[in-house]
Structures are given as C-alpha cells and as structure tokens.
Amino acid sequence: MSKDSSFDSLDGVDRTLLGLLQDDGTLSSAALGERLSMSVTPCWRRRKRLEDLGIIRDYQANLDRRKLGYDVMAFAQVRFGNVSDNAPDQFERAIKALPQVLSCHKVTGEADYVLTVVATDLESYGRFVEDVLRRQPGIASIQSSLSLREVKAVTRLPVPE
C-alpha cells in the first residue's frame, strides 16, 4: 500500500477520529471529543489538521439514488480509437461537468475509461449514451453493463492502523 507522508503523522486518535467522521460527518467537535475522551479544543485542532493535510477532503450527505428517481445504474466502458491525440483530454473535461456521471476512471485493459452513470430509466440512459457519449470525439466503442442489484456500495475507506 502506498502511503503519503501525511499518513505517517497519524496516531491512533487521528485514525479513530477519521473513522467516526466517516460514520457521521455531522459530528461536532464536542461530540467527537466526548467519544474520544478529549476536550473540544484539542479535538477541533486535530480535525482541522486532518483537513489542512487534505486527508479530510470534504463533507457530504449520502443520498439514496432510488428515492431521487435514479433507478438505473450503468457502467460504461469507453474505448478510444487513438489515445495519442487530445480527444481523451476533451473527454475528461466533458465528463467532469456531467452530474449523472458518478465516477470516471482511466483504466488498463480493453477499455480506456470506465464510468458509473445514473439515470431515471433505461430510456434516459440510452439518450445519455446517444446524445452525450457518442458525440465525444475519438470514441471508438462504448460497452454498457447495467446493475441488476446493488450488493455493496460504500464511500467509506478503511483507515489503516
């Protein structure tokens, strides 16, 4: 496992604090301090240091996609005909601006990119493929896989000891 130098400066309290915040990012410094048996100010300083180091990037609420009407989750594998031109760079810029694309990874193997995309239904996903993906320059092929059942979906990272 590759470790960033900021990781080396973490002690057990920092690691516990990270776990608690991944479970509930709304915890106040007072609530964190209580769980860590610390007073508020040192707890706040630790949290702030972790934020300044970039270990804590941001806070967000985890939403239920189905309750928001996104019943389709698709994994699109995108392959370019020529990766030496600037088409992949254009593609990355375009994808970053699309809210229905939850993740985009440049990968090894047969595809150049794998995207996780949400849509309200199959028809809207089809429109996304035709109106957005197929219009990106340089794309040679798109292969989609649809999620039949979500077995596990978390955003929490294991905090190494």
The verdict on 81 and 139 lying in the same domain is yes
CATH number at residue 42: 1.10.10.10
Q: What is the pLDDT of residue 154?
A: 87
Let me know whether 93 and 133 are in one domain: yes
User: How does residue 4 score in pLDDT terms, banded at 50, 70 and 90?
Assistant: low
Residue 157 covered by a domain: no
Is pLDDT of 121 > 60?
Answer: yes
Q: Residue 109: which CATH number?
A: 3.30.70.920
For 73, the token pair is 């989750």
Answer whether residue 3 is part of any domain: no
Number of domains observed in the structure of the chain: 2
Q: Is 80 within the bounds of a domain?
A: yes
Retrieve residue 97's tokens. Answer: 């601006």
Same domain, 92 and 139: yes
Both 72 and 132 in one domain: the answer is yes
Q: Please, what's the b/e burial string for 72-87 (b: 16 or more CB within 10 A of its CB; e: otherwise)?
A: bbbebbbbbeeeeeeb
Burial level of 16, CB count in 10 A (0-12/13-18/19+)?
Answer: middle
75-106 pLDDT, tens digit per residue, is 999 999 976 788 999 999 999 999 999 999 99
pTM for the model: 0.84
Q: Please give the Cα distance from 134 to 157 (Å, whole number).
A: 34
- Assigned domain for 151 exists: no
- Residue span of the structural domain in which 80 resides: 66-146
In a domain, 2, yes or no: no
